[in-house]
């Protein structure tokens, strides 16, 4: 550890030395200027009064030359004489006046006798004594809501900044009077003269007024505001980024963060029971996307992976969601697909704000209701110094699904009933020590519970006439409760000093997945005749059992008394992932000639501990009396499964069975070997320490913004687990490795005009392997000559990313954007089969091992287009129409070991990569009523790579249609209703070719209606 810290210290010092040297040189050059001035008539002795407004530099020079004996000497190629300046006139002498001119126009002016030599100023650190800070917020004049993403500029210069998610900004300007200009899509441009104190700060709030001429016919509601906020943040971002604001989420009927993200270009989602869960950015699997809250990575509650199930996070908690498709050096580098940052809210007003919502709904398949409530209280106290925001939300839904699955010749009917709750509690306390210094403490608590009852009928026909098999029907009923918690605490501060900004944060976060019970009761029955026809109707296979069709209520498979108890599995699992993080960032503004720049550097340490414990007890029944399903069946079940195509009867009732089990404990015998092998093979502990540092600079010269820098991340990982040999012998094992990544990043943004940006980025990033692949747990079956082993030496996937994007913003709150992206992935991870005699427990026997290994490389190429606009230019009532559309095409190939011939290579499409992803949403606004029909298309993708191409599993493309309607009674009170999955689109999986379905799962439609209001 000491060696690593020393290495890190050396690396930091290596970066700091040139930075400090640059700063010293800049300071010397600035302070050397006055020393060089020497003349008979000192300019500081020459009294002069000049007051000009928006006057060009050339005109100003002429005025000064006319009123004094001095003459300016300069090169017109190096000086921008057209630059316009404003001087208040309150200057005591020519020297002070010229200092103000030099500061505003970024010049060096040197007196040589009666000549004033003028040249562009070199890159210098600002002189603290001459610079002041303008801090403040940009708010909507009518709604008094903050406007994030506003452009705040010192007029006539390239010196500017943007407001953060709280609408706040900090802008350094020369002390004295400065005209500050604010622009925001959908609002009138606003400017105001501000007196900036030397070495101090001034607080200003800018009130923006909607641009009625642009937004005619549109009622400015929270929905439109959300759209404005998102687009403004996107427009002013330094990197290629999509932003979804909280209000914007309300445009679509998306109850959780994952579903809100599916509307973003180049984002698609994986669903669970019809609800979005995992996010895939640019066609890359979920582990390639970094998920963070307020810029800090969230640990994953799940055992084997790093990525976070976003259905656990209620959308109500957030101020916005940012999807960065090209990362900057100050962001975590393990984000090949992109980085999703969830930004929580902060108190904005000295008035007590109460925002609340109450909803209720209905799920057609379960026939049950769902409801949701949220409440947010926020207020700033003590003269705006202390802000407190408290947010709570709760969502409960009773869902279900109807599913059939095929496994070779077997057919399964699955009847799901789920009770899900999502609870979100968050708070932000921030305190402004002064205008330059503030502290914050953020807390977040998310709890997701998922109680699932799954009743299965498994029809196993005796198709090959084997005398060793019978026609069987198995009944398996699973009943489990899964609880996920994500907790995070962030304590940090932001400081604005004369010459630099400093922010730092310490955070603790923990994610837990606790499954306190997971019970599956199995029962079996043998039948004389059983056949399944998958071909006549591939959508819905038919069963004939004892010569009766599947829908017949008298069919023998419905007789619960025929099913004998087989075994019961009772399990519980506990997975925990804990992060302790500390980080700091320092930003040093500077000027380089006409350009404004920011030099930024920082460091970060993240210590992660992850563990997984499992208990799995399988009991057989040894009691003397017969135990059949009818004795322990009960509870709800689907009485109209797949529109009455199949019949069902009550499943095993876990409550009833557990009571029987507890009172007849002596009649159940534990399978000891299975318990030991399963628990040992899956349990593990891991630690992962990450040390990172970066340096970057952002420079703005007129319309061009350049952002470049480098980040270094060093990771040290260690694991402990067990090796299970021949299902009986259990040996402890451990592993670990360390690796470092140097990640250079370059971003270019060129503003062709106020509404048109061109962007390009070349970045390096990587993706750490899933824990399930690297933990050295091994299952070796020497007798069978095969085994699966973890690979603690697995290298992360590295990537070089190229992005080019053009974006045109419309004053009517819209955007047209298009771009291309390319990713070159190195050390691609795939599952490799190979023969080896080196493995735990080996006595020289060569066996076939399966292990995740690094492959050669993979390429991914794509383009995306997005268009959204309020069509106010259309005639008549058509003006109320709006459109939101995006489409992404992605193509990929990865080179892996050939599945036909292990010595060859073959190319495959990246798992999880959909070729076509898109959204089309049409809205219509008539007065205070807004209706919207939204379609989300997710193209087919490979979900699992099989033993050969014919066994590859594909998730079929899916088009979901949703509708929402909103009535805005007042800007603070809205009624709305939502309908989801109107066309009952199933989740479908096929194997090899589209005619060979192996799964079709239906969720039917569900709806919600309610009210949202603000006080």
Partner 1 sequence: MKKYIRNASLFALALTFAACVDNSLEETPNDDNFPLQLVLDAEEGADLADAEDYGVEIKFADHLPGTSLPATTLTLEYSIEDLDGTMEGAVAVDKVVYEVELDDCTYERELDFTASADGLRGTITIAPDADLGTVPESFEVVFTLPGADDTEGGFTVVFSNLTTTEPVLLGSPRAFAYEVLDNDVAGEWELEIATEEEFEQFKQLFGPVNPGLDALSFEDITGKVTAGFEFEEMKFILELAETEEVTTCEDGASETETENKVIEIEAEYDADDGELEFEGSHPIIGDNGLVEDELDFLAEAEYTQDEAGETLSIRFFSLVDEDNFAEGEELFRDDNGVTFTFEKD
Residues of the shown chain interacting with partner 1 in the complex, contacts defined by CB under 8 A: 354, 356-358, 371-375, 392-394, 396, 419, 421, 423, 425, 447, 449, 451, 464-468, 479, 481, 516-517, 519, 570, 615, 617, 619, 622-624, 654-655, 658-659, 661-662, 665-667, 669-673, 675-676, 782-785, 845-847, 1011, 1013, 1015
C-beta of 62 vs 846, nearer to partner 1: 846
CA distance 484 to 313: 10
Tokens of 141: 């004049």
Provide, rounded to whole angstroms, the least separation between the CB of residue 513 and partner 1: 15
Provide, rounded to whole angstroms, the least separation between the CB of residue 757 and partner 1: 40
Tokens of 929: 């009523």
Provide, rounded to whole angstroms, the least separation between the CB of residue 489 and partner 1: 20
C-beta of 113 vs 845, nearer to partner 1: 845
Compute the radius of gyration of the chain from its Cα atoms: 33
Provide, rounded to whole angstroms, the least separation between the CB of residue 397 and partner 1: 12
Phi/psi at 472 (nearest 5 deg)? Answer: -130, 155
Q: Counting runs of H as helices and runs of E as strands, what totals does the chain give?
A: 9, 54
CA distance 112 to 36: 9
C-beta of 537 vs 673, nearer to partner 1: 673
Q: Kindly give the residue spans of alpha helices, DSSP state H, lying in 794-924.
A: none
E runs forming strands in 214-367 = 241-245, 267-272, 275-281, 289-293, 296-297, 318-324, 338-344, 353-363
C-beta of 394 vs 739, nearer to partner 1: 394
Provide, rounded to whole angstroms, the least separation between the CB of residue 970 and partner 1: 10
In 3D space, the residue among 41, 62, 42, 39 whose CA is nearest the CA of residue 50 turns out to be 62
Q: Report helix angle 57-67 to 94-105, nearest 10.
A: 170
Provide, rounded to whole angstroms, the least separation between the CB of residue 561 and partner 1: 21
Provide, rounded to whole angstroms, the least separation between the CB of residue 784 and partner 1: 5
**DSSP 3-state helix, strand, coil percentages of the chain (rounded to 5)?**
15, 55, 30
Burial class (CB in 10 A: 0-12, 13-18, 19+), 383: exposed
C-beta of 467 vs 876, nearer to partner 1: 467
Provide, rounded to whole angstroms, the least separation between the CB of residue 511 and partner 1: 18
Contact 860, 910 (CB under 8 A): yes
Tokens of 193: 């003269």
Provide, rounded to whole angstroms, the least separation between the CB of residue 747 and partner 1: 41
CA distance 862 to 337: 12
C-beta of 356 vs 891, nearer to partner 1: 356
Provide, rounded to whole angstroms, the least separation between the CB of residue 567 and partner 1: 13
Contact 550, 542 (CB under 8 A): yes
C-beta of 75 vs 466, nearer to partner 1: 466
Q: List all residues 6 or more positions away from 460 whose beta carbon is below 8 Å from its beta carbon.
A: 409, 410, 471, 472, 473, 474, 530
* 139, 221, 617 from 144: Cα distances, Å: 6, 12, 59
Tokens of 832: 């490799």
Provide, rounded to whole angstroms, the least separation between the CB of residue 965 and partner 1: 20
C-beta of 632 vs 661, nearer to partner 1: 661
C-beta of 348 vs 374, nearer to partner 1: 374
C-beta of 128 vs 676, nearer to partner 1: 676
CA distance 504 to 296: 12
* 87, 119, 157 from 82: Cα distances, Å: 16, 15, 12
Q: Give the CA-trace dihedral at 842, 848, 851, 854, to 10 degrees.
A: 110
C-beta of 360 vs 878, nearer to partner 1: 360
Provide, rounded to whole angstroms, the least separation between the CB of residue 851 and partner 1: 19
3-state class (DSSP) for residue 179 = strand
Provide, rounded to whole angstroms, the least separation between the CB of residue 120 and partner 1: 59
C-beta of 321 vs 570, nearer to partner 1: 570
C-beta of 373 vs 538, nearer to partner 1: 373
Provide, rounded to whole angstroms, the least separation between the CB of residue 343 and partner 1: 21
C-beta of 668 vs 691, nearer to partner 1: 668
Provide, rounded to whole angstroms, the least separation between the CB of residue 809 and partner 1: 36
Contact 168, 371 (CB under 8 A): no
Contact 914, 929 (CB under 8 A): no
In 3D space, the residue among 813, 770, 767 whose CA is nearest the CA of residue 248 turns out to be 813
In 3D space, the residue among 177, 953, 779, 301 whose CA is nearest the CA of residue 576 turns out to be 301
In 3D space, the residue among 734, 647, 635 whose CA is nearest the CA of residue 686 turns out to be 734
C-beta of 552 vs 628, nearer to partner 1: 628
C-beta of 624 vs 838, nearer to partner 1: 624
Q: List all residues 6 or more positions away from 901 whose beta carbon is below 8 Å from its beta carbon.
A: none
Q: List all residues 6 or more positions away from 88 whose beta carbon is below 8 Å from its beta carbon.
A: 51, 176, 177
Contact 187, 209 (CB under 8 A): yes
Contact 806, 757 (CB under 8 A): yes
Provide, rounded to whole angstroms, the least separation between the CB of residue 309 and partner 1: 18
In 3D space, the residue among 950, 945, 940 whose CA is nearest the CA of residue 987 turns out to be 940
Tokens of 933: 């029909």
In 3D space, the residue among 561, 557, 539 whose CA is nearest the CA of residue 548 turns out to be 557
CA distance 141 to 915: 44
C-beta of 250 vs 986, nearer to partner 1: 250
Provide, rounded to whole angstroms, the least separation between the CB of residue 974 and partner 1: 12
Provide, rounded to whole angstroms, the least separation between the CB of residue 446 and partner 1: 10
C-beta of 536 vs 662, nearer to partner 1: 662
**What single string gives the DSSP state of each residue in 687-736?**
EEEEEEEEEEEEEEETTEEEEEEEEEEEEEEEEEEEEEETTTEEEEEEEE
């Amino acid at each position: 550890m000491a060696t690593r810290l020393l290495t890190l210290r050396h690396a930091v010092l290596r970066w700091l030395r040139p930075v400090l040297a640059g700063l010293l040189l800049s300071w010397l050059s600035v302070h050397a200027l006055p020393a060089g001035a020497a003349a008979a008539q000192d300019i500081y002795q020459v009294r002069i009064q000049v007051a000009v407004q928006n006057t060009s530099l050339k005109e100003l020079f002429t005025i000064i030359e006319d009123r004094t004996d001095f003459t300016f000497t300069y090169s017109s190629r190096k000086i921008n004489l057209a630059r316009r300046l404003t001087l208040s006139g309150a200057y005591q002498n020519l020297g002070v006046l010229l200092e103000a001119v030099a500061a505003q126009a970024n010049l060096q002016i040197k007196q040589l006798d009666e000549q004033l030599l003028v040249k562009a100023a070199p890159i210098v650190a600002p002189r603290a004594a001459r610079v002041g800070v303008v801090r403040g917020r940009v708010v909507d004049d009518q709604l008094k809501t903050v406007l994030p993403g506003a452009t705040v500029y010192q007029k006539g210069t390239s010196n500017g900044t943007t407001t953060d998610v709280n609408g706040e900004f900090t802008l350094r300007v020369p002390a004295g009077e400065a005209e500050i200009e604010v622009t925001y899509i959908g609002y009138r441009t606003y400017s105001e003269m501000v007196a900036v104190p030397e070495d101090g700060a001034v607080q200003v709030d800018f009130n923006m007024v909607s641009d009625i001429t642009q937004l005619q016919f549109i009622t400015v509601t929270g929905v439109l505001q959300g759209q404005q906020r998102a687009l403004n943040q996107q427009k002013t971002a330094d990197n290629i980024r999509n932003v979804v604001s909280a209000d914007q989420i309300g445009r679509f009927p998306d109850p959780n963060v994952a579903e809100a993200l599916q509307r973003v270009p180049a984002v698609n989602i994986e669903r669970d029971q019809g609800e979005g869960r995992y996010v895939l950015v640019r066609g890359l699997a979920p582990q390639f996307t970094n998920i963070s809250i307020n810029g800090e990575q969230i640990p994953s509650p799940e055992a084997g992976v790093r990525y976070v199930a976003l259905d656990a996070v209620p959308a109500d908690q957030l101020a916005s969601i940012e999807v960065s498709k090209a990362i900057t050096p100050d962001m975590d580098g393990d984000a090949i697909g992109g980085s999703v940052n969830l930004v929580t809210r902060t108190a904005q007003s000295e008035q007590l704000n109460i925002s609340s919502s109450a909803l209720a709904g209905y799920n057609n398949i379960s026939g049950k209701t769902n409801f949701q409530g949220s409440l947010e209280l926020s207020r700033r106290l003590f003269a705006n110094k202390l802000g407190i925001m408290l947010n709570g939300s709760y969502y409960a839904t009773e869902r279900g699904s109807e599913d059939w699955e095929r496994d070779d010749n077997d057919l399964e009917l699955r009847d799901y009933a789920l009770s899900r709750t999502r609870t979100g509690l968050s708070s932000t306390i921030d305190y402004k020590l002064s205008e330059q210094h503030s502290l914050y403490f953020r807390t977040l608590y998310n709890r997701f519970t998922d109680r699932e009852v799954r009743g299965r009928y498994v029809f196993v026909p005796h198709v090959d006439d084997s005398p060793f098999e019978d026609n069987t029907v198995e009944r398996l009923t699973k009943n489990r409760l899964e609880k996920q918690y994500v907790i995070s605490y962030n304590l940090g501060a932001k400081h604005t000093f004369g010459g630099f900004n400093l922010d730092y944060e310490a955070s603790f976060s923990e994610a837990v997945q606790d499954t306190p019970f997971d019970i599956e009761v199995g029962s079996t029955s043998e039948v004389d005749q059983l056949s399944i026809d998958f071909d006549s109707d591939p959508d819905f296979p038919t069963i004939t059992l004892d010569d009766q069709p599947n829908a017949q209520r008298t069919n023998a498979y419905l007789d619960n008394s025929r099913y004998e108890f087989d075994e019961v599995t009772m399990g519980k699992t506990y997975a925990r992932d804990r992060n302790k993080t500390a980080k700091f960032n320092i930003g040093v503004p500077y000027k380089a000639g006409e350009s404004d720049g920011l030099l930024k550097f920082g460091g970060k340490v993240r210590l992660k501990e992850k563990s997984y414990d499992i208990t799995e007890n399988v009991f057989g029944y040894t009691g003397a009396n017969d135990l059949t399903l009818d004795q322990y069946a009960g509870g709800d079940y689907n009485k109209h499964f797949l529109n009455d195509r199949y019949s069902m009867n009550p499943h095993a009732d876990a409550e009833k069975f557990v009571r029987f089990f507890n009172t007849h404990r002596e009649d159940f015998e534990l399978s000891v070997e299975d318990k030991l092998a399963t628990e040992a093979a899956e349990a593990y502990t891991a630690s992962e320490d990450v040390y990172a540092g970066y340096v970057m600079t952002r420079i703005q010269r007129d319309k061009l913004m350049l952002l470049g820098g480098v980040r270094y991340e060093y990771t040290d990982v260690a694991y402990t687990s067990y090796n299970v040999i021949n299902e009986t012998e259990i040996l402890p094992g451990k592993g670990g490795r360390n690796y470092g990544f140097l990640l250079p990043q370059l971003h270019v943004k060129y503003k062709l005009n106020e509404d048109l940006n061109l962007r390009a980025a070349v970045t390096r990033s990587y993706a750490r392997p899933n824990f399930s692949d690297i933990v050295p747990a091994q299952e070796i079956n020497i007798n069978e000559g095969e085994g699966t082993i973890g690979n603690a030496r697995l290298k992360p996937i590295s990537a070089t990313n190229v992005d080019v994007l053009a974006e045109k913003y419309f004053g009517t709150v819209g955007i047209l954007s298009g771009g291309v992206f390319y990713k070159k992935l190195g050390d691609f991870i795939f599952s490799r089969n190979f023969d080896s005699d080196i493995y735990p427990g080996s006595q020289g026997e060569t066996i076939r091992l399966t292990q995740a290994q690094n492959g050669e490389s993979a390429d991914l190429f794509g383009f995306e287009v997005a268009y959204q606009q309020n069509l106010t230019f259309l005639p008549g009532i058509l003006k109320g129409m709006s459109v939101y559309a995006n489409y992404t095409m992605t193509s990929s190939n990865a080179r892996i070991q050939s599945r036909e011939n292990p010595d060859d290579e073959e190319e495959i499409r990246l798992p999880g990569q959909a070729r076509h992803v898109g959204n089309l949403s049409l809205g219509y606004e008539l007065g205070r009523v807004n209706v919207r029909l939204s379609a989300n298309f997710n193209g087919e993708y490979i979900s699992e790579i099989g033993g050969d191409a014919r066994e590859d599993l594909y998730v079929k493309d899916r088009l979901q249609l949703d509708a929402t309607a909103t009535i805005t009674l007042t800007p603070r009170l809205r009624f709305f209703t939502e309908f989801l999955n109107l066309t009952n689109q199933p989740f479908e999986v096929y194997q090899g070719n589209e005619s060979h379905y192996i799964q079709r799962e239906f969720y039917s439609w569900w709806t919600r209606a309610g009210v949202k209001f603000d006080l």
